[in-house]
Amino acid sequence: MPEKIDEFLPIKEAKPEAKEVFKKVVRLEMDNMHRENPALEDTVINMIRDIIK
């Protein structure tokens, strides 16, 4: 059996703003996983701008 690991530990230990970026970007990618969205790169940039002002 594989050993017990907390795979989200690296994010849990990150700075609060990095955690927020991670959650928002992963959710965005999940929502767009099955469709072509060329604007994703800009959305990610704007997300970071909004979080770090």
Partner 1 sequence: MRIDSIQLTNFRQFYGATPKIELAHGDKNVTVIHGMNGSGKTALLNAFTWILYGTFSKGFRNTDQLINKRAIVETPAGQKIECSGELNFEHAGRNYRAKKVLDAVASDKIGYPIVREKETILQSQDTDGQWKPVHDIESTIGKILPRDLHSYFFFDGERVEKIVNPEKEERADLARAVKTILKLEPLERTIKHLKMARKHFEDEMSRYGNDLTKKLIAEKEILDDNIESSEKDISNGVENVAAQKDLVRKLHERIAKFDSVKHLQDERDRLLTTIDEKKSSIKENSQQLKALISDRAYLLHSHGQEEYFQELIKSLKERGEIPAGIKSQFVEKLIKDQNCICGRSLNPTNDNQCKAAHTAVSEWLNTAGLQQIEDRAIELGARTNNWNDRRSDLQDRLKELTRIEKTEHAEIDKCNTALKKISKELEDCPLEKVSSLEKKRKEEDHKYSQLLERLGADKRERLKQAEHLKELEKQLDKIGAQNAKQKIAHRRRDTADEVIKATSLVLKLMDKKWRGSLENQIQQTFKSISVKPYIPKLNKDYSIELIDTVGGGDVAFSQGESLVLSFSFISAIIEEARKFSAEKSEVYAPEDTEYPLIMDSPFGALDDTNRSHVASTISILADQVITMVSKTQWREEVEDAMMPRIGKSYVLTYFSPREDTLISEIRLGKNTHPLIKRSTNEHEYTTIEEVPNA
Site string for partner 1, 15-34 (x = CB under 8 A): x-xx--xxx-xxx-xx--xx
* Contact status: 39 vs partner 1 (CB under 8 A): no
Asked if 43 and 12 count as a contact pair (C-beta separation under 8 A), the reply is no
Cα 19 from chain centroid (whole Å):
8
* Contact status: 1 vs partner 1 (CB under 8 A): yes
Measured distance CA(12)–CA(20) in Å, rounded: 11
Q: Which residues bind partner 1 (CB under 8 A)?
A: 1-2, 5-11, 13-15, 17-18, 21-23, 25-27, 29-30, 33-35, 40-41, 44-45, 48-49, 51-53
